[in-house]
Each structure stands twice: as structure tokens, then as C-alpha cells.
Amino acid sequence: MKKNKFFIALLLTISQSSFATMQMDEKGMVMNANPDNLPKDCPQISETVDLTIHAGHKYATKFNDKMFAFDQQQWDVKPCAKINITFINDDQIRHQFMIHGLPGYLYPDGMLHLELYGEGELHASLIMPSQKKTYLVHCELAQHAEKGMKAQLKVGGGDGDLPSVPGITSPIKENPYLFDWTVFKLGGIVILFAISVITIGGRGLIMRYFDRHK
């Protein structure tokens, strides 16, 4: 009996320590929220920003060929800003709000992860570092980012735009499912040129060989 209690206590301690930054219920989960710890490079919090972010199919209708989107594709905060996020999923399906590239000593895997299994609302806070940087925000579910659920969070104006952010930057490839004929044409010209060089050169070599062995 005593042994069992000890093991249960031990298991609880282990599970609580390894999931210390994870909250989960039947509606969704929050991983790596950080409302309190200042990044090393921040002497203090510069501003507190309340951000309400919606996710859903209806926000994609303004974009061509998109299925899912956040209601905004870009946010801009000051260096060392504290952001209080309210994440609302307007769809009946799962959506995530993930920020990547955060400092690993505060955010395991450099990531803040919010996820709602269906319609609902979640809250999480984080504190951004001081450097000017553009952070990738997306939903990591299969094909959701490709279908439009991608955005960027800029700190201090950011350090450029990310590719394939709907309405902001063009995709790296217009449509990955279509064959890119321009590459084929360019490649074809190069191959034709190579073949002609080889055959002309080769013929010259053969002729020289026969000349020598007449």
C-alpha cells in the first residue's frame, strides 16, 4: 500500500515536471506559455499587447486558392513586448497557432503552441526577445499552412518577410502540383547544347581516329 502511494507520487512528480509548461483539457492545449520570465536581453517588458487571433475557413475566402487562414497575416510588436494571446477557432475542426524561432532556454524547441480541437478559445502569454526578427506563425496540421494558415510576427519591424504569407508575399512555387515548364525549357536548351557539343566533338574525334588508322 505504502509502496503504491510512493510510486503514484513519484509518477505525478515526473509527469508534472516534464509537462510543467503544458496545459491541456478536452477543448485544447497550450504548450510553453511564458507570462513571467524575461528574455536575457530584456531589462524589462516594453509594452503589453493584447492580441485576439481568429482561425478559420471564412478568413481564407479573400485569398485565391486558400482554404484556411488566420484573420490577420501579420502582427508587429516592440522588442521585449509581452503578448497576451486570445486564440479563437471559428471552425469545427482542429487548428493550431504556433510561433517558431523563440529562444530555446525559455521556450522548449523554440516554440509556443496553442491548439483547439474545434470551436473554442484559449489564452496564453509570452514575452518576446529584444532583437529585430520576423517569427513564423502557422498551423502545423497537414496541409493547413500550405492552404493559407501562415502568418508572421514581427518584433521591432522584423528582419524581412517570410515567403508564402497570404496577401503579403508570393509563394516560393506558384503551384507545386503543376509541372514547371520553364525549368523544362531551360533544361532542354542546356541538354540540346550539351548533346550537340558532344556529337560534334565526338564526330571530330572518331574522324581523327580513322584518319590516323587508314
Choice between 133 and 147, CB closer to Cu ion: 147
Smallest separation, CB 146 to Cu ion (Å): 11
87 vs 135, which CB is nearer to Cu ion?
87
> In the chain, what is the straight-line distance between the N-terminal and C-terminal CA atoms, in Å?
103
Decide the pairing of beta strands 28-31 and 22-24: antiparallel
Measured from the CB atom, the residue of 95 and 154 that comes closer to Cu ion is 95
Binding characters for Cu ion, 143-182, by CB under 5 A (x = yes): -x----x---------------------------------
User: What b/e readout covers 186-208, taking b as 16+ CB neighbours within 10 angstroms?
Assistant: eeeeeeeeeeeeeeeeeeeeeee
d(CA 66, CA 88): 19
Residue in the shown chain whose Cβ atom is closest to Cu ion: 139
Binder to Cu ion among 88, 111, 141, 168 (CB under 5 A)?
141
In the shown chain, the binding pattern of residues 40 to 79 toward Cu ion, with x for contact by CB under 5 A and - for none, equals ----------------------------------------
Contact residues: Cu ion, CB under 5 A: 95, 139, 141, 144, 149
